[in-house]
Amino acid sequence: MSAKSGYEKSKEIAEDVPVIRFLQGAKLLGQVRLHEGETLAEHGELAGVRIPTNCTSGTCGTCMVTLIQGIVELPEILPPGLDDDLVENCARLSCIGIPLDDVDVDIRPPL
């Protein structure tokens, strides 16, 4: 049984870090490690993916994306930019949505 090198240990840790992936259909546009407390829009910026935003408070819906996989918590009271039908179709507002673990989003809103 041999001890692991520092490189092998850091590689193991890096593999355990949740990842936020941004897609447009089947095309991967970018990905970034989870930064706790940051919004999907901020993660997009870190990944080099521009998600249009306007109000940054969930009011206008400009930043709407489609959640493909993972958990992006919703506020108890939905903001004006979201309604129950949109949420049912996996819509999330990237300006206020904070991912909690591995998340895949399509940067296009649900149809």
Let me know if residue 50 belongs to a domain. yes
Query: What is the tally of structural domains in the chain?
Result: 1
DSSP 74: P
Q: Which phi and psi angles does 18 have, rounded to 5°?
A: -60, 150
pTM of the model: 0.84
85-101 pLDDT per residue, tens: 999 999 999 999 999 99
Say which CATH number the domain at 48 has.
3.10.20.30
Indicate whether 8 belongs to any domain: no
Domain-located, residue 6: no
Residue 1 in tokens: 């049984």
Q: Residue 32 gets which letter from DSSP?
A: E
17-54 residue pLDDT tens: 999 999 999 999 999 999 999 999 999 999 999 999 99
Would you say residue 6 has pLDDT above 80?
Answer: no
- What single DSSP character describes residue 96? T
CB atoms within 10 A of CB 47: 19
pLDDT at 84: 95
Whether 61 is in a domain gets the answer: yes
Q: Domain for residue 78, yes or no? A: yes
**Cβ(58)–Cβ(81) under 8 Å?**
yes
| Token pair recorded at residue 36 | 């706790």
pLDDT band at 14 (very low <50, low <70, confident <90, very high): low
Q: State the DSSP H helix or E strand holding residue 106, giving kind and residue range, or none if neither.
A: strand 103-106
For residue 8, pLDDT over 60 is answered with no
Q: What is the pLDDT of residue 11?
A: 46
Q: pLDDT band at residue 9, thresholds of 50, 70 and 90? A: very low
pLDDT band at 16 (very low <50, low <70, confident <90, very high): confident
In a domain, 13, yes or no: no
